[in-house]
Chains A and B, each alone.
Chain A
Amino acid sequence: MNSARLIGIVGTYGVVVALAALVLFGFLRYERFLGFFNVMSVLRYNSMFALVALGMCFVIMTGGIDLSVGSVAALGSVASALASPHGIAAGVAAGVGAGLAAGLINALLVTRANLMPFIATLATMLAASGSALLLAGNQSVSVSYDSGFTAIGQGNFWIFPIPAVIALVAYVVGSVVLNYTSTGRTVLAIGGGEDASRLMGLRTDRIKFLVYVASGCLAGLAGVVLASQFGAGQPIEGVGWELSAIAAVVVGGTLLTGGSGSVMTTLAGVLLLGILFNILNFENGLGWISLSAYWQSVIRGLFLLVVVLLQARLTGRRGSWPATTSGP
Protein backbone atom coordinates (compact mmCIF):
# COMPACT_ATOMS: atom_id res chain seq x y z
CA MET A 1 0.00 0.00 0.00
CA ASN A 2 1.59 3.23 -1.13
CA SER A 3 1.24 6.51 0.68
CA ALA A 4 -1.12 7.99 -1.87
CA ARG A 5 -3.49 5.12 -1.31
CA LEU A 6 -3.17 5.52 2.43
CA ILE A 7 -4.07 9.18 2.23
CA GLY A 8 -6.94 8.18 -0.01
CA ILE A 9 -8.31 5.88 2.62
CA VAL A 10 -7.83 8.47 5.32
CA GLY A 11 -9.59 11.00 3.10
CA THR A 12 -12.56 8.78 2.46
CA TYR A 13 -13.08 7.09 5.77
CA GLY A 14 -11.29 9.58 8.00
CA VAL A 15 -14.56 11.38 8.50
CA VAL A 16 -16.20 8.19 9.78
CA VAL A 17 -13.32 7.56 12.17
CA ALA A 18 -13.37 11.19 13.30
CA LEU A 19 -17.11 10.98 13.85
CA ALA A 20 -16.74 7.78 15.87
CA ALA A 21 -13.94 9.32 17.92
CA LEU A 22 -16.03 12.39 18.60
CA VAL A 23 -19.00 10.30 19.67
CA LEU A 24 -16.79 8.21 21.93
CA PHE A 25 -15.27 11.34 23.40
CA GLY A 26 -18.72 12.75 24.08
CA PHE A 27 -19.93 9.48 25.55
CA LEU A 28 -17.01 9.24 27.98
CA ARG A 29 -17.08 12.87 28.95
CA TYR A 30 -20.72 13.83 29.21
CA GLU A 31 -23.28 11.87 31.09
CA ARG A 32 -26.26 12.51 28.87
CA PHE A 33 -24.46 12.76 25.54
CA LEU A 34 -25.72 9.43 24.26
CA GLY A 35 -28.97 9.86 26.10
CA PHE A 36 -32.14 9.32 24.10
CA PHE A 37 -33.18 12.95 24.21
CA ASN A 38 -29.87 14.35 23.08
CA VAL A 39 -29.37 11.88 20.24
CA MET A 40 -32.86 12.45 18.90
CA SER A 41 -32.65 16.21 19.04
CA VAL A 42 -29.30 16.24 17.29
CA LEU A 43 -30.74 14.05 14.55
CA ARG A 44 -33.92 16.10 14.28
CA TYR A 45 -32.09 19.39 14.03
CA ASN A 46 -29.44 18.27 11.54
CA SER A 47 -31.74 16.53 9.11
CA MET A 48 -32.45 19.78 7.23
CA PHE A 49 -28.75 20.29 6.65
CA ALA A 50 -28.40 16.67 5.65
CA LEU A 51 -31.03 17.06 2.93
CA VAL A 52 -29.37 20.17 1.53
CA ALA A 53 -25.94 18.53 1.66
CA LEU A 54 -27.21 15.50 -0.24
CA GLY A 55 -28.24 17.61 -3.22
CA MET A 56 -25.02 19.59 -2.98
CA CYS A 57 -23.07 16.34 -2.95
CA PHE A 58 -24.50 15.26 -6.30
CA VAL A 59 -23.93 18.69 -7.85
CA ILE A 60 -20.34 18.78 -6.65
CA MET A 61 -19.67 15.27 -7.93
CA THR A 62 -20.43 16.54 -11.44
CA GLY A 63 -17.84 19.27 -10.89
CA GLY A 64 -20.46 21.97 -10.34
CA ILE A 65 -21.66 23.91 -7.33
CA ASP A 66 -25.05 25.09 -6.08
CA LEU A 67 -24.95 28.28 -4.05
CA SER A 68 -28.72 28.66 -4.07
CA VAL A 69 -29.63 25.85 -1.66
CA GLY A 70 -29.89 28.05 1.44
CA SER A 71 -32.28 30.59 0.02
CA VAL A 72 -34.18 27.91 -1.87
CA ALA A 73 -34.74 26.20 1.50
CA ALA A 74 -35.99 29.52 2.87
CA LEU A 75 -38.31 29.86 -0.12
CA GLY A 76 -39.47 26.28 0.36
CA SER A 77 -40.22 26.93 4.02
CA VAL A 78 -42.32 29.97 3.18
CA ALA A 79 -44.20 28.21 0.38
CA SER A 80 -44.97 25.21 2.52
CA ALA A 81 -46.01 27.37 5.48
CA LEU A 82 -48.41 29.24 3.24
CA ALA A 83 -49.85 25.98 1.92
CA SER A 84 -49.89 24.22 5.28
CA PRO A 85 -53.53 24.98 6.10
CA HIS A 86 -54.48 22.69 3.24
CA GLY A 87 -52.81 19.71 4.80
CA ILE A 88 -49.54 17.90 4.92
CA ALA A 89 -49.56 16.94 1.26
CA ALA A 90 -50.18 20.50 0.14
CA GLY A 91 -47.45 21.82 2.39
CA VAL A 92 -44.92 19.33 1.15
CA ALA A 93 -45.92 19.80 -2.47
CA ALA A 94 -45.63 23.58 -2.21
CA GLY A 95 -42.21 23.45 -0.60
CA VAL A 96 -40.76 20.85 -2.92
CA GLY A 97 -42.44 22.55 -5.88
CA ALA A 98 -40.74 25.83 -5.06
CA GLY A 99 -37.44 23.97 -4.86
CA LEU A 100 -38.16 22.27 -8.15
CA ALA A 101 -38.75 25.62 -9.83
CA ALA A 102 -35.48 27.02 -8.53
CA GLY A 103 -33.68 23.82 -9.52
CA LEU A 104 -35.09 24.06 -13.03
CA ILE A 105 -33.82 27.61 -13.37
CA ASN A 106 -30.35 26.54 -12.24
CA ALA A 107 -30.40 23.58 -14.60
CA LEU A 108 -31.43 25.70 -17.57
CA LEU A 109 -28.88 28.42 -16.83
CA VAL A 110 -26.08 25.87 -16.52
CA THR A 111 -26.89 23.47 -19.36
CA ARG A 112 -28.62 25.77 -21.85
CA ALA A 113 -27.17 29.24 -21.27
CA ASN A 114 -23.81 27.68 -20.39
CA LEU A 115 -23.29 29.96 -17.40
CA MET A 116 -20.67 28.94 -14.87
CA PRO A 117 -22.52 27.05 -12.10
CA PHE A 118 -21.10 29.50 -9.58
CA ILE A 119 -22.74 32.49 -11.25
CA ALA A 120 -25.93 30.75 -12.30
CA THR A 121 -26.68 29.52 -8.81
CA LEU A 122 -25.59 32.82 -7.27
CA ALA A 123 -28.26 34.55 -9.33
CA THR A 124 -30.85 31.95 -8.36
CA MET A 125 -29.83 32.40 -4.74
CA LEU A 126 -30.69 36.10 -4.88
CA ALA A 127 -33.88 35.49 -6.82
CA ALA A 128 -35.06 32.76 -4.44
CA SER A 129 -34.29 34.91 -1.45
CA GLY A 130 -36.21 37.81 -2.96
CA SER A 131 -39.14 35.58 -3.84
CA ALA A 132 -39.22 34.17 -0.32
CA LEU A 133 -39.39 37.65 1.17
CA LEU A 134 -42.07 38.70 -1.30
CA LEU A 135 -44.20 35.63 -0.63
CA ALA A 136 -43.84 36.02 3.09
CA GLY A 137 -44.30 39.77 3.12
CA ASN A 138 -40.94 40.27 4.83
CA GLN A 139 -41.81 38.34 7.97
CA SER A 140 -42.00 34.78 9.07
CA VAL A 141 -45.21 32.96 8.19
CA SER A 142 -46.59 30.72 10.87
CA VAL A 143 -47.75 27.32 9.79
CA SER A 144 -51.13 25.89 10.46
CA TYR A 145 -51.17 23.76 13.57
CA ASP A 146 -54.56 22.27 12.75
CA SER A 147 -53.71 20.48 9.56
CA GLY A 148 -51.08 18.23 11.09
CA PHE A 149 -48.38 19.83 9.00
CA THR A 150 -46.08 20.22 11.99
CA ALA A 151 -45.82 16.45 12.30
CA ILE A 152 -43.22 16.42 9.54
CA GLY A 153 -40.80 18.41 11.61
CA GLN A 154 -41.88 17.66 15.14
CA GLY A 155 -43.43 14.22 15.02
CA ASN A 156 -41.95 10.81 15.53
CA PHE A 157 -42.03 7.68 13.49
CA TRP A 158 -42.06 5.02 16.18
CA ILE A 159 -39.32 6.53 18.34
CA PHE A 160 -37.42 8.31 15.58
CA PRO A 161 -37.89 11.93 14.58
CA ILE A 162 -39.68 12.07 11.25
CA PRO A 163 -37.21 14.54 9.67
CA ALA A 164 -34.37 12.17 10.49
CA VAL A 165 -36.29 9.33 8.88
CA ILE A 166 -36.91 11.44 5.79
CA ALA A 167 -33.23 12.32 5.58
CA LEU A 168 -32.17 8.72 6.08
CA VAL A 169 -34.50 7.52 3.34
CA ALA A 170 -33.19 10.25 1.04
CA TYR A 171 -29.62 9.18 1.72
CA VAL A 172 -30.35 5.51 1.14
CA VAL A 173 -32.06 6.36 -2.14
CA GLY A 174 -29.19 8.70 -3.04
CA SER A 175 -26.65 6.03 -2.24
CA VAL A 176 -28.44 3.44 -4.37
CA VAL A 177 -28.75 5.89 -7.25
CA LEU A 178 -25.08 6.75 -7.04
CA ASN A 179 -23.80 3.22 -6.73
CA TYR A 180 -26.31 1.09 -8.59
CA THR A 181 -27.60 3.11 -11.51
CA SER A 182 -25.93 4.33 -14.64
CA THR A 183 -27.21 7.81 -13.81
CA GLY A 184 -25.13 7.79 -10.65
CA ARG A 185 -22.01 6.51 -12.38
CA THR A 186 -22.45 9.11 -15.10
CA VAL A 187 -22.61 11.84 -12.45
CA LEU A 188 -19.16 10.76 -11.29
CA ALA A 189 -17.81 10.31 -14.80
CA ILE A 190 -18.83 13.86 -15.75
CA GLY A 191 -17.03 15.26 -12.74
CA GLY A 192 -13.97 13.19 -13.56
CA GLY A 193 -13.80 14.49 -17.11
CA GLU A 194 -16.68 16.06 -18.94
CA ASP A 195 -15.12 15.92 -22.40
CA ALA A 196 -14.02 12.33 -21.93
CA SER A 197 -17.51 11.44 -20.76
CA ARG A 198 -19.03 13.05 -23.80
CA LEU A 199 -16.63 11.13 -26.04
CA MET A 200 -17.66 7.98 -24.23
CA GLY A 201 -21.16 8.73 -25.41
CA LEU A 202 -22.64 9.61 -22.02
CA ARG A 203 -25.49 12.10 -21.89
CA THR A 204 -23.70 14.73 -19.90
CA ASP A 205 -26.14 17.62 -20.27
CA ARG A 206 -29.10 15.53 -19.26
CA ILE A 207 -27.40 14.30 -16.11
CA LYS A 208 -26.21 17.77 -15.17
CA PHE A 209 -29.76 19.01 -15.65
CA LEU A 210 -30.98 16.29 -13.32
CA VAL A 211 -28.58 17.01 -10.47
CA TYR A 212 -29.46 20.71 -10.32
CA VAL A 213 -33.15 19.87 -10.33
CA ALA A 214 -32.60 17.26 -7.61
CA SER A 215 -30.60 19.71 -5.53
CA GLY A 216 -33.41 22.26 -5.81
CA CYS A 217 -36.02 19.71 -4.78
CA LEU A 218 -34.00 18.55 -1.79
CA ALA A 219 -33.45 22.15 -0.69
CA GLY A 220 -37.19 22.69 -1.00
CA LEU A 221 -37.80 19.60 1.12
CA ALA A 222 -35.34 20.93 3.71
CA GLY A 223 -37.46 24.08 3.71
CA VAL A 224 -40.58 22.03 4.43
CA VAL A 225 -38.83 20.44 7.40
CA LEU A 226 -37.65 23.84 8.56
CA ALA A 227 -41.13 25.33 8.48
CA SER A 228 -42.70 22.34 10.11
CA GLN A 229 -40.08 21.97 12.82
CA PHE A 230 -40.05 25.60 13.91
CA GLY A 231 -43.68 26.30 13.17
CA ALA A 232 -42.99 29.03 10.66
CA GLY A 233 -41.82 29.69 7.14
CA GLN A 234 -38.67 31.73 7.52
CA PRO A 235 -37.69 33.86 4.53
CA ILE A 236 -34.40 35.01 6.02
CA GLU A 237 -33.25 31.61 7.22
CA GLY A 238 -30.77 29.65 5.16
CA VAL A 239 -28.04 32.27 4.94
CA GLY A 240 -24.74 30.45 4.73
CA TRP A 241 -26.36 27.02 4.46
CA GLU A 242 -24.83 26.54 1.03
CA LEU A 243 -21.31 26.95 2.33
CA SER A 244 -21.91 24.74 5.37
CA ALA A 245 -23.27 22.15 2.99
CA ILE A 246 -20.19 22.47 0.79
CA ALA A 247 -18.03 22.07 3.87
CA ALA A 248 -19.92 18.95 4.94
CA VAL A 249 -19.60 17.47 1.47
CA VAL A 250 -15.88 18.17 1.32
CA VAL A 251 -15.24 16.95 4.85
CA GLY A 252 -17.18 13.86 3.80
CA GLY A 253 -14.41 13.13 1.32
CA THR A 254 -16.04 14.25 -1.91
CA LEU A 255 -13.61 15.95 -4.25
CA LEU A 256 -14.65 19.53 -4.85
CA THR A 257 -13.43 19.27 -8.41
CA GLY A 258 -15.87 16.44 -8.91
CA GLY A 259 -15.47 12.90 -10.09
CA SER A 260 -15.24 11.22 -6.75
CA GLY A 261 -17.46 11.15 -3.76
CA SER A 262 -19.74 9.21 -1.53
CA VAL A 263 -23.23 9.81 -0.26
CA MET A 264 -22.94 8.10 3.09
CA THR A 265 -19.71 9.80 4.10
CA THR A 266 -21.40 13.09 3.28
CA LEU A 267 -23.96 12.18 5.91
CA ALA A 268 -21.06 11.50 8.27
CA GLY A 269 -19.69 14.94 7.35
CA VAL A 270 -23.01 16.58 8.23
CA LEU A 271 -23.18 14.72 11.55
CA LEU A 272 -19.56 15.50 12.36
CA LEU A 273 -20.08 19.22 11.89
CA GLY A 274 -23.39 19.01 13.77
CA ILE A 275 -22.01 17.09 16.74
CA LEU A 276 -19.18 19.57 17.16
CA PHE A 277 -21.81 22.11 18.08
CA ASN A 278 -23.51 19.69 20.43
CA ILE A 279 -20.24 18.90 22.18
CA LEU A 280 -19.48 22.57 22.66
CA ASN A 281 -22.82 22.90 24.42
CA PHE A 282 -22.04 20.01 26.72
CA GLU A 283 -18.56 21.34 27.41
CA ASN A 284 -20.01 24.62 28.54
CA GLY A 285 -22.57 22.72 30.58
CA LEU A 286 -19.78 21.07 32.52
CA GLY A 287 -18.69 24.50 33.53
CA TRP A 288 -15.00 23.69 33.77
CA ILE A 289 -14.09 25.81 30.82
CA SER A 290 -16.30 28.14 28.95
CA LEU A 291 -16.01 27.71 25.24
CA SER A 292 -18.27 29.90 23.25
CA ALA A 293 -20.53 28.27 20.73
CA TYR A 294 -18.77 30.32 18.12
CA TRP A 295 -15.83 27.99 18.24
CA GLN A 296 -17.82 25.62 16.09
CA SER A 297 -17.28 27.72 12.97
CA VAL A 298 -13.58 27.94 13.69
CA ILE A 299 -13.35 24.20 14.17
CA ARG A 300 -15.42 23.56 11.05
CA GLY A 301 -13.07 25.78 9.13
CA LEU A 302 -10.08 23.88 10.48
CA PHE A 303 -11.63 20.56 9.50
CA LEU A 304 -12.21 21.89 6.03
CA LEU A 305 -8.63 23.13 5.83
CA VAL A 306 -7.20 19.76 6.79
CA VAL A 307 -9.35 17.91 4.29
CA VAL A 308 -8.63 20.36 1.51
CA LEU A 309 -4.89 20.17 2.12
CA LEU A 310 -5.08 16.37 2.06
CA GLN A 311 -6.98 16.50 -1.20
CA ALA A 312 -4.48 18.91 -2.69
CA ARG A 313 -1.60 16.64 -1.75
CA LEU A 314 -3.26 13.83 -3.62
CA THR A 315 -4.56 15.48 -6.71
CA GLY A 316 -1.23 17.22 -7.09
CA ARG A 317 0.37 14.00 -8.13
CA ARG A 318 -0.80 10.79 -9.66
CA GLY A 319 -2.77 8.88 -7.16
CA SER A 320 -6.25 8.43 -6.07
CA TRP A 321 -8.40 10.21 -3.63
CA PRO A 322 -11.00 7.53 -3.21
CA ALA A 323 -9.91 4.29 -1.64
CA THR A 324 -12.46 2.41 -3.67
CA THR A 325 -14.53 3.78 -6.43
CA SER A 326 -17.22 1.31 -7.09
CA GLY A 327 -19.90 -0.43 -5.22
CA PRO A 328 -19.40 -3.71 -3.46
Chain B
Amino acid sequence: MGINFQNVDFKYAKKASKKQLDNINLSIDAQNEFIFIVGHTGSGKSTLVQHMNALLFPTSGKIKIFDLNVVRKKKTPLKPIRKHVGLVFQFPEYQVFETTVLDDIMFGPKNFGQTKEQARSQALEAAKLIGISDDLLERSPFTLSGGQMRKVAIAGILAVNPDILILDEPTVGLDPKTKDELMQLLVDIQQKTNKTIIMISHDMNIVSAFAKRILVMHQGKLVFDGHKDDLFASHELLDLYNLDLPTSASLAIQLKKAGLINYDKLPLTKEELLELILKEGSYE
Protein backbone atom coordinates (compact mmCIF):
# COMPACT_ATOMS: atom_id res chain seq x y z
CA MET B 1 0.00 0.00 0.00
CA GLY B 2 1.34 3.39 -0.94
CA ILE B 3 -0.64 6.20 0.63
CA ASN B 4 -3.56 5.75 2.95
CA PHE B 5 -5.70 8.53 4.43
CA GLN B 6 -8.21 7.74 7.17
CA ASN B 7 -10.72 10.40 8.23
CA VAL B 8 -8.13 13.13 7.83
CA ASP B 9 -9.04 16.64 8.95
CA PHE B 10 -6.75 19.63 8.72
CA LYS B 11 -6.98 23.19 10.00
CA TYR B 12 -4.31 25.84 9.86
CA ALA B 13 -5.02 27.03 13.39
CA LYS B 14 -6.57 25.07 16.22
CA LYS B 15 -9.43 27.49 16.64
CA ALA B 16 -10.00 28.14 12.93
CA SER B 17 -13.59 27.45 11.95
CA LYS B 18 -12.73 26.50 8.38
CA LYS B 19 -11.35 23.08 7.70
CA GLN B 20 -8.75 23.01 4.94
CA LEU B 21 -9.24 19.27 4.67
CA ASP B 22 -12.51 17.71 5.75
CA ASN B 23 -12.76 13.98 6.45
CA ILE B 24 -10.56 12.70 3.65
CA ASN B 25 -10.52 8.96 3.04
CA LEU B 26 -8.23 7.85 0.29
CA SER B 27 -5.86 5.13 -0.70
CA ILE B 28 -3.32 5.21 -3.47
CA ASP B 29 -1.28 2.30 -4.74
CA ALA B 30 2.46 2.42 -4.85
CA GLN B 31 2.56 1.40 -8.50
CA ASN B 32 0.98 2.06 -11.82
CA GLU B 33 -1.44 4.78 -10.95
CA PHE B 34 -1.84 8.01 -12.89
CA ILE B 35 -4.00 10.24 -10.75
CA PHE B 36 -5.13 13.79 -11.37
CA ILE B 37 -6.38 16.02 -8.60
CA VAL B 38 -8.71 18.76 -9.83
CA GLY B 39 -10.73 21.42 -8.09
CA HIS B 40 -11.20 25.12 -7.70
CA THR B 41 -8.55 27.44 -6.27
CA GLY B 42 -8.55 27.07 -2.50
CA SER B 43 -10.32 23.72 -2.57
CA GLY B 44 -7.49 22.04 -0.67
CA LYS B 45 -5.56 20.35 -3.49
CA SER B 46 -2.16 21.70 -2.46
CA THR B 47 -2.90 21.07 1.21
CA LEU B 48 -3.73 17.48 0.37
CA VAL B 49 -0.51 16.77 -1.48
CA GLN B 50 1.57 18.48 1.20
CA HIS B 51 0.18 15.94 3.66
CA MET B 52 1.42 13.16 1.40
CA ASN B 53 4.93 14.61 1.73
CA ALA B 54 4.81 15.11 5.52
CA LEU B 55 5.08 18.87 5.11
CA LEU B 56 1.77 19.36 6.87
CA PHE B 57 0.30 17.11 9.52
CA PRO B 58 -3.34 16.14 10.03
CA THR B 59 -5.27 17.82 12.83
CA SER B 60 -7.14 14.58 13.30
CA GLY B 61 -7.25 11.27 11.48
CA LYS B 62 -4.50 8.97 10.31
CA ILE B 63 -2.14 9.05 7.36
CA LYS B 64 0.04 6.09 6.50
CA ILE B 65 2.67 6.32 3.81
CA PHE B 66 4.38 3.05 3.01
CA ASP B 67 3.38 1.86 6.50
CA LEU B 68 5.01 4.89 8.09
CA ASN B 69 2.76 7.02 10.24
CA VAL B 70 2.69 10.72 9.44
CA VAL B 71 2.56 12.42 12.81
CA ARG B 72 4.08 15.61 14.14
CA LYS B 73 6.50 14.35 16.71
CA LYS B 74 10.01 15.53 17.25
CA LYS B 75 11.51 12.08 17.04
CA THR B 76 9.62 10.83 14.01
CA PRO B 77 12.07 10.88 11.15
CA LEU B 78 10.39 12.46 8.15
CA LYS B 79 13.09 11.75 5.60
CA PRO B 80 12.04 8.13 4.92
CA ILE B 81 8.55 9.38 4.09
CA ARG B 82 9.91 12.07 1.78
CA LYS B 83 12.20 9.50 0.20
CA HIS B 84 9.15 7.40 -0.76
CA VAL B 85 7.04 10.29 -1.99
CA GLY B 86 8.61 13.05 -4.06
CA LEU B 87 6.76 16.35 -4.33
CA VAL B 88 7.39 18.86 -7.11
CA PHE B 89 5.95 22.23 -6.16
CA GLN B 90 4.29 24.80 -8.37
CA PHE B 91 6.95 26.82 -10.21
CA PRO B 92 9.68 24.45 -9.03
CA GLU B 93 12.33 26.44 -10.89
CA TYR B 94 12.56 28.68 -7.81
CA GLN B 95 14.08 25.90 -5.73
CA VAL B 96 17.12 25.66 -8.02
CA PHE B 97 20.23 27.13 -6.41
CA GLU B 98 23.42 25.23 -7.26
CA THR B 99 26.15 26.44 -9.59
CA THR B 100 25.64 23.75 -12.21
CA VAL B 101 22.60 21.83 -13.38
CA LEU B 102 24.13 18.48 -12.45
CA ASP B 103 24.99 19.65 -8.93
CA ASP B 104 21.45 20.81 -8.42
CA ILE B 105 19.97 17.50 -9.51
CA MET B 106 22.45 15.73 -7.20
CA PHE B 107 21.38 17.83 -4.21
CA GLY B 108 18.34 15.69 -3.39
CA PRO B 109 19.98 12.24 -3.48
CA LYS B 110 22.90 13.56 -1.44
CA ASN B 111 20.51 14.82 1.22
CA PHE B 112 18.96 11.38 1.42
CA GLY B 113 22.31 9.89 2.29
CA GLN B 114 23.72 8.74 -1.05
CA THR B 115 27.41 8.91 -1.74
CA LYS B 116 28.64 11.36 -4.32
CA GLU B 117 29.07 8.69 -7.00
CA GLN B 118 25.64 7.19 -6.41
CA ALA B 119 24.07 10.64 -6.43
CA ARG B 120 25.86 11.43 -9.66
CA SER B 121 24.71 8.31 -11.44
CA GLN B 122 21.14 8.78 -10.22
CA ALA B 123 21.22 12.41 -11.31
CA LEU B 124 22.45 11.47 -14.77
CA GLU B 125 19.72 8.86 -15.05
CA ALA B 126 17.04 11.34 -13.97
CA ALA B 127 18.35 13.95 -16.42
CA LYS B 128 18.15 11.38 -19.20
CA LEU B 129 14.60 10.38 -18.23
CA ILE B 130 13.31 13.93 -18.30
CA GLY B 131 15.25 14.79 -21.45
CA ILE B 132 17.93 17.20 -20.33
CA SER B 133 20.69 17.02 -22.91
CA ASP B 134 24.26 16.37 -21.77
CA ASP B 135 25.60 19.75 -22.85
CA LEU B 136 23.30 21.49 -20.37
CA LEU B 137 24.56 19.56 -17.35
CA GLU B 138 27.61 21.71 -16.69
CA ARG B 139 25.85 25.02 -17.29
CA SER B 140 24.54 27.31 -14.59
CA PRO B 141 20.83 26.64 -14.11
CA PHE B 142 20.15 30.38 -14.09
CA THR B 143 21.12 30.66 -17.76
CA LEU B 144 18.41 28.19 -18.84
CA SER B 145 14.97 28.97 -20.22
CA GLY B 146 11.89 28.61 -18.00
CA GLY B 147 10.90 25.25 -19.44
CA GLN B 148 14.40 23.82 -19.14
CA MET B 149 14.71 25.06 -15.56
CA ARG B 150 11.46 23.34 -14.70
CA LYS B 151 12.80 20.10 -16.14
CA VAL B 152 15.92 20.50 -14.01
CA ALA B 153 13.78 20.98 -10.92
CA ILE B 154 11.66 17.93 -11.71
CA ALA B 155 14.84 15.93 -12.36
CA GLY B 156 16.01 17.02 -8.90
CA ILE B 157 13.07 15.15 -7.38
CA LEU B 158 13.24 12.20 -9.82
CA ALA B 159 16.88 11.66 -8.91
CA VAL B 160 15.82 10.80 -5.36
CA ASN B 161 14.00 7.91 -7.03
CA PRO B 162 10.72 8.17 -5.10
CA ASP B 163 8.10 5.45 -5.48
CA ILE B 164 5.36 8.00 -5.87
CA LEU B 165 5.86 11.26 -7.72
CA ILE B 166 3.54 14.18 -7.02
CA LEU B 167 3.53 17.26 -9.24
CA ASP B 168 1.66 20.46 -8.38
CA GLU B 169 0.62 21.97 -11.72
CA PRO B 170 3.80 21.08 -13.60
CA THR B 171 2.67 22.65 -16.86
CA VAL B 172 1.42 26.02 -15.61
CA GLY B 173 3.11 29.00 -17.27
CA LEU B 174 4.68 26.99 -20.09
CA ASP B 175 4.04 27.49 -23.79
CA PRO B 176 1.78 24.88 -25.48
CA LYS B 177 4.63 23.04 -27.19
CA THR B 178 6.73 22.67 -24.04
CA LYS B 179 3.56 21.72 -22.16
CA ASP B 180 2.82 18.80 -24.49
CA GLU B 181 6.45 17.73 -24.47
CA LEU B 182 6.64 17.73 -20.68
CA MET B 183 3.37 15.81 -20.34
CA GLN B 184 4.57 13.22 -22.87
CA LEU B 185 7.82 12.84 -20.93
CA LEU B 186 5.94 12.30 -17.67
CA VAL B 187 3.71 9.69 -19.32
CA ASP B 188 6.80 7.94 -20.69
CA ILE B 189 8.43 8.00 -17.28
CA GLN B 190 5.31 6.49 -15.75
CA GLN B 191 5.27 3.69 -18.32
CA LYS B 192 8.99 3.00 -18.06
CA THR B 193 9.28 2.99 -14.30
CA ASN B 194 5.75 2.00 -13.24
CA LYS B 195 5.84 4.71 -10.59
CA THR B 196 2.57 6.13 -9.40
CA ILE B 197 2.22 9.71 -10.57
CA ILE B 198 -0.16 12.15 -8.91
CA MET B 199 -0.71 15.48 -10.57
CA ILE B 200 -2.65 18.62 -9.77
CA SER B 201 -3.97 20.34 -12.86
CA HIS B 202 -6.50 22.89 -14.00
CA ASP B 203 -6.13 22.01 -17.65
CA MET B 204 -8.99 19.65 -18.44
CA ASN B 205 -7.47 18.81 -21.83
CA ILE B 206 -4.47 17.34 -20.08
CA VAL B 207 -6.59 15.70 -17.39
CA SER B 208 -8.91 14.01 -19.88
CA ALA B 209 -6.04 12.84 -22.05
CA PHE B 210 -3.85 11.25 -19.41
CA ALA B 211 -5.80 10.49 -16.24
CA LYS B 212 -6.51 6.96 -15.18
CA ARG B 213 -8.17 8.12 -12.02
CA ILE B 214 -9.46 11.54 -11.00
CA LEU B 215 -9.87 13.03 -7.54
CA VAL B 216 -12.09 16.12 -7.26
CA MET B 217 -11.60 18.40 -4.27
CA HIS B 218 -14.30 20.87 -3.25
CA GLN B 219 -14.15 23.03 -0.13
CA GLY B 220 -11.74 20.69 1.59
CA LYS B 221 -13.77 17.59 0.85
CA LEU B 222 -12.90 14.77 -1.51
CA VAL B 223 -16.11 14.71 -3.55
CA PHE B 224 -15.20 12.42 -6.43
CA ASP B 225 -12.78 9.55 -6.75
CA GLY B 226 -13.07 7.49 -9.87
CA HIS B 227 -12.67 7.08 -13.60
CA LYS B 228 -12.61 10.10 -15.89
CA ASP B 229 -15.52 8.85 -18.03
CA ASP B 230 -17.81 8.84 -14.99
CA LEU B 231 -16.84 12.40 -14.13
CA PHE B 232 -17.11 13.94 -17.58
CA ALA B 233 -20.34 12.08 -18.40
CA SER B 234 -22.08 13.72 -15.46
CA HIS B 235 -23.09 17.31 -16.15
CA GLU B 236 -24.41 17.68 -12.61
CA LEU B 237 -21.04 16.87 -11.09
CA LEU B 238 -19.17 19.21 -13.42
CA ASP B 239 -21.60 22.07 -12.76
CA LEU B 240 -21.61 21.47 -9.03
CA TYR B 241 -17.85 21.71 -8.72
CA ASN B 242 -17.28 24.35 -11.40
CA LEU B 243 -15.23 22.11 -13.66
CA ASP B 244 -14.87 22.58 -17.40
CA LEU B 245 -15.19 19.96 -20.09
CA PRO B 246 -12.15 19.32 -22.25
CA THR B 247 -12.25 21.29 -25.52
CA SER B 248 -12.87 18.18 -27.63
CA ALA B 249 -15.83 17.14 -25.50
CA SER B 250 -17.54 20.52 -25.61
CA LEU B 251 -16.94 20.69 -29.38
CA ALA B 252 -18.45 17.22 -29.74
CA ILE B 253 -21.54 18.30 -27.79
CA GLN B 254 -21.99 21.28 -30.12
CA LEU B 255 -21.56 19.06 -33.19
CA LYS B 256 -24.11 16.60 -31.84
CA LYS B 257 -26.57 19.42 -31.23
CA ALA B 258 -26.10 20.51 -34.83
CA GLY B 259 -26.80 16.95 -35.87
CA LEU B 260 -23.44 16.46 -37.54
CA ILE B 261 -22.17 13.57 -35.46
CA ASN B 262 -23.63 11.06 -33.08
CA TYR B 263 -22.04 9.10 -30.25
CA ASP B 264 -22.86 7.01 -27.20
CA LYS B 265 -19.74 7.82 -25.24
CA LEU B 266 -18.53 11.42 -25.05
CA PRO B 267 -15.15 11.76 -26.84
CA LEU B 268 -12.62 13.25 -24.42
CA THR B 269 -9.53 13.60 -26.56
CA LYS B 270 -8.69 15.08 -29.94
CA GLU B 271 -8.09 11.58 -31.35
CA GLU B 272 -11.44 10.20 -30.23
CA LEU B 273 -13.25 13.18 -31.71
CA LEU B 274 -11.36 12.91 -34.97
CA GLU B 275 -12.29 9.26 -35.23
CA LEU B 276 -15.96 10.10 -34.72
CA ILE B 277 -15.89 12.82 -37.37
CA LEU B 278 -14.13 10.57 -39.86
CA LYS B 279 -16.67 7.81 -39.22
CA GLU B 280 -19.46 10.29 -39.81
CA GLY B 281 -17.79 11.40 -43.03
CA SER B 282 -17.51 7.86 -44.38
CA TYR B 283 -21.31 7.48 -44.41
CA GLU B 284 -21.67 9.94 -47.23
Partners in one complex: no
Interface residues in chain A, defined as those with a beta carbon under 8 Å from any beta carbon in chain B: none
Interface residues in chain B, defined as those with a beta carbon under 8 Å from any beta carbon in chain A: none
